């Protein structure tokens, strides 16, 4: 892709070499080329911006996902430690513990 300045230099150079009469004959074609070149340059610039934005978004997502995975694994390990360190408060019940001295169910 030619920049607008480079394209204008080439067009001016052609006009000088061909002369005004011949340049008038092909001016419509050159105008079309100029418009298409400008459109192509605009599209390329827009795509470059979009690519840069997508790369930034990708990096942000990678960092966020990495942080979430670390947090999940740390929480998982912490929960396991809590469960392992948690004292068991389960009382063992037997028939003698289930009834009081009068034979009533506790």
| pLDDT per residue as tens digits for the range 76-99 | 666 766 666 666 656 666 767 777
Is 37 in contact with 4 (CB distance < 8 Å)?
Answer: yes
Identify the bridge partners of residue 105 per DSSP, sorted by sequence position: 99
Is 23 in contact with 15 (CB distance < 8 Å)?
Answer: yes
For 9-53, give the secondary structure using H, E and C: HHHHHHHHHHHHHHHHHHHHHHHHHHHHHHHHHHHHHHHHHHHHH
Q: Is pLDDT of 10 > 80?
A: yes
Q: Is pLDDT of 46 > 80?
A: yes
49-75 residue pLDDT tens: 999 999 999 999 999 998 888 887 766
Q: Which pLDDT score is estimated for 52?
A: 97
Q: Which pLDDT score is estimated for 63?
A: 93
Rounded CA separation 54/39 (Å):
22
Q: Which of 50, 52, 31 is nearest to 42 (CA)?
A: 50
Rounded CA separation 59/51 (Å):
12
Q: Is pLDDT of 37 > 80?
A: yes
Stronger pLDDT, 43 or 19, i.e. the higher one: 43
Q: Which pLDDT score is estimated for 96?
A: 72
Q: Domain spans of the chain?
A: 4-85
Residues 6+ apart with CB under 8 A from 18: 26
Percent of the chain at pLDDT above 70?
79
Q: Which pLDDT score is estimated for 101?
A: 76
């Amino acid at each position: 892709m030619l920049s607008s300045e480079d394209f204008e230099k080439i067009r001016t150079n052609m006009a000088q070499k061909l002369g005004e009469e011949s340049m008038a004959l092909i001016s419509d074609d050159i105008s079309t080329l100029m418009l298409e070149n400008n459109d192509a340059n605009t599209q390329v610039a827009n795509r470059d911006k979009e690519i840069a934005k997508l790369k930034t978004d990708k990096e942000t997502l990678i960092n966020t996902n990495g942080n979430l995975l670390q947090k999940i694994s740390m929480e998982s390990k912490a929960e396991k430690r809590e469960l392992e360190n948690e004292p068991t408060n389960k009382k063992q019940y037997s028939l003698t513990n289930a009834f009081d001295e009068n034979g009533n169910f506790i």
